[in-house]
Amino acid sequence: MTQQGAVLQGYNNELVKCIEDLCMQKEELNKQIQQAEEEKNKLQHEIQVLSEQLECVCESLAQKVASRNELDKILAETEAAYMKILDSSRTLLNVLKKEVGSLKHTPELKTN
């Protein structure tokens, strides 16, 4: 019976050791879970901050693109108006040259 008690005690010791090992594994796993949850929360916060920054950049970009488009429109209108001025100036110059040329062919008025 002593031998059976010793065998039973050996089994009990092994069983207790296995249970202790499982508890240690559980504690380690709990630490890893806690670290993973902290990392997850940190990353979610960073994502939120980055999303807000992205939204601000997108709004700023949209405003800048709208301003550029307005400037493009103003520039195109200004260039078109300037081309009309150049065309009118050329026409005026041609008319003036023609008038000056015809004045050269007119007899001069005699002064008394």
Distance, CA of 38 to CA of 46 (rounded, Å): 12
Predicted TM-score of the model (pTM): 0.59
CA torsion, ordered 105, 106, 111, 112, to nearest 10 deg:
130
Q: What is the pLDDT along the chain (112 residues), one digit of tens a residue?
A: 788 888 889 999 999 999 999 999 999 999 999 999 999 999 999 999 999 999 999 999 999 999 999 999 999 999 999 999 999 999 999 999 998 888 877 666 545 4
